[in-house]
Amino acid sequence: MKKETKTIIITGASSGIGRETAFKLAKEGHKVFAGVRKKIDKDELEKLNPNITAVYIDVTNPSSIDKAFWFIIKKADKIDVLINNAGIAVAGAVEFLPIKKIKEQFDVNTFGALQVAQKFMPFLKNGLIINISSMASYGIFPFIAPYCASKRAMDILFNSLLIENKDNIKVVSVKPESIKTPIWNKSVNSAKKTFDLLNEASKNKYKKEFSYLEKNALKNNNSAKEISEVAELIIKIINSKNPKCSYNLGKTALFAQIISLLPDFIVNYFIKLKLSKI
């Protein structure tokens, strides 16, 4: 039996999870509109498979979203799946994080995803929205608080969208454990710039913790889950008649969920204990 061909939009497809997912979906015969911000990424993506059409889209820019919308609906009269994948990770000690950086975190991960969904909802009737969230949404990871909070906020907003919408649009949150993507190196590089602007007393206050962040990012790049595992889960969800509202990917993600259910004072005690041993 021939598989049904779907029209799929995926944001943040220049690299990592987005690129891999776009490629695998196109390989299965689906028509994929892949969001990019640079011409070089557009050219490279479209070379991967003729079923991929790269689209310029900056999820923080309403004008960019609007242009992408009109470009896509001229080529497709219906959208079956929207995958909100575009994301960044802001890291650092909350005490010294510039509010501007925290706002930037939410602009991409939370408001950007919601803006794209709102724009395409009229063409998503009976369709599916898949959000690439994170085990960080369980909120038990210090020094990446903006990232955790943005993913939690995204989950809450989209769960309400699932409940409220009258167009039978399903919403699924995918919560992977650490994945081998460029996001962590970018995050540490950005955090380093912020850290370097601090005075010496402030630097010394969190010097050990920043060093830990750098080592953890390197660890994620070398020993985290492969991006292909996320792409395969997304394909499984798309092919499912009745997908769940939320999927953990990896034992660490499941463990994070279980830990998050404990009373706050217990969770905080053990996290502080671990930090004291860095």
pLDDT at 1: 47
Residue 82 in domain: yes
Residue 60 in domain: yes
Tokens of 143: 């020094």
pLDDT at 58: 97
Residue 102 in domain: yes
Q: In 3-state terms, what secondary structure has residue 37?
A: coil
Distance CA 39, CA 43 (A): 6
What range does the domain containing 135 cover? 7-276
pLDDT in tens, 76-133: 989 999 999 999 999 888 999 999 999 999 999 999 999 999 999 999 999 999 999 9
CATH code, domain carrying 207: 3.40.50.720
Ranges of residues in the chain with a pLDDT under 70 are: 1-2, 184, 218-223
Residue 150 in domain: yes
Distance CA 142, CA 136 (A): 10
Long-range pairs, 70-74, Cβ under 8 A, ≥24:
72/9, 72/33, 72/120, 73/123
pLDDT at 86: 96
Residue 2 in domain: no
Number of domains in the chain: 1
45 and 52 Cβ atoms separated by less than 8 Å: yes
Residue 1 in domain: no
Distance CA 158, CA 221 (A): 29
Residue 106 in domain: yes
Residue 239 in domain: yes
